[in-house]
Structure 1
Amino acid sequence: MENFILILLCIAIGYGIRRLHIFSKDAATTLNQFAIYISLPAMILLQIPKLSFSMDALIPIIIAWLVMTITAILILYLCKFFSFSKEITGSLLLVAILTNSSFMGIPIINAYIGESALPYVLIYDQLGTFIALAIYGTFIASYYSSKSEISFKIIVYKVLTFPPFLSLIVALFLMGVEFNETITKVLSSLASTIVPIALVAVGLQLQFKLPRSEIKPFSVALTVKLIIAPIIAFGICKLFSWDNQASIVSILEAGMAPMITAGAIASMAGLAPRLSSAIVGYGILISFPTTYIIFKVLSF
Structure 2
Amino acid sequence: MIINAFNGVITLIILIAVGFFLGKKNWFNESTDNLMSKMVVNISLPAFMIANLNTSFTKEQFINSLGGYLLAFLSISTTYLIGSFVYKFFNISKDRKGVFRALFGLSNTIFVGLPVNISIFGEKALPYILIYYIINTLFFWSIAAYDIRCDGKKTSGGFFSKSNLKNILSPPLIAFILSAALILLQIQLPVFLVDSCRYLGNLTTPLSTIFIGSILSNMNYKEMKVDKDSLLILIGRFIVSPIVAFVLLSFTSFPLLMKEVFIVMSAMPVMNTVAIVARQYNGDYKFSSVLNATSLIASFMFIPIYVFLFKYLL
Q: How does 1:202-217 map to 2 (within 5 A)?
A: 202-206=212-216, 207=219, 208-210=221-223, 215-217=227-229
**1:148·1:269 contact (CA, 8 Å) conserved in 2?**
no
Q: What TM-score, normalized to structure 2? A: 0.86
The residue type equivalent to 2:25 in the other structure is L
Counterpart Cα distance in 1 of 2:125 and 2:119:
10
Query: C-alpha deviations, 1:23-57, integer Å up to 9, x for none?
Result: 23221111010111111011110222221344652
Query: How many residue pairs align between the two structures?
Result: 297
Residue 250 (structure 2) pairs with residue 242 (structure 1): no
Q: Which residue of 1 aligns with 2:205?
A: 195
Amino acid at match of 1:138: A
Q: Confirm or deny that 1:153 pairs with 2:156.
A: no
CA distance in 1: counterparts of 2:67 and 2:121, whole angstroms: 17
Aligned partner (choices 22, 28, 38) of residue 17 of structure 1: 22
Q: Using a 3 Å threshold, how does the CA distance of structure 1 residues 211 and 118 change in structure 2: closer, same or farther?
A: closer
Farther-moved stretch of structure 1 (223-232 vs 18-27):
18-27
Contact kept? 2:96, 2:151, Cα under 8 Å:
no
Q: Does 1:230 align with 2:242?
A: yes
The normalised TM-score by structure 1 is 0.90
Distance (Å, rounded) in 2 between the aligned partners of 1:140 and 1:112? 34
Q: Give the corresponding residue for 1:48.
A: 53
Aligned-pair distance for 1:197?
A: 0.7
2:275 corresponds to 1:263: yes
Alignment of 1:1-300 (within 5 A): 3-49=8-54, 50-52=56-58, 53-54=60-61, 56-126=64-134, 128-147=135-154, 150-151=157-158, 152-160=161-169, 162-175=170-183, 176-206=186-216, 207=219, 208-210=221-223, 215-300=227-312
For 1:266 and 1:56, the matched residues in 2 are separated by 37
* Cα offsets for 1:80-123 (capped at 9, x unmatched): 22111112322211112121112211111111111011111112
Aligned residue type for 1:297: L
After superposition, what is the alpha-carbon deviation per residue over 1:117-154, rounded to whole angstroms, capped at 9, x for unaligned? Answer: 1111112112x011112111221112222246554221
Query: What's the secondary structure of 2:250's corresponding residue?
Result: helix
Match of 1:102, SS?
helix
Flag the 1:178–1:291 CA change in 2: closer, same or farther, 3 A: farther
Partner Cα separation in structure 1 for residue 269 and residue 97 of structure 2 = 18
Whole-Å separation in 1 of the counterparts to 2:37 and 2:278: 17
How far 1:178 sits from its partner (Å)? 4.5
Aligned 8 A contact 2:8 2:120 in 1: no
Distance across 2 between alignment mates of 1:123 and 1:168: 9
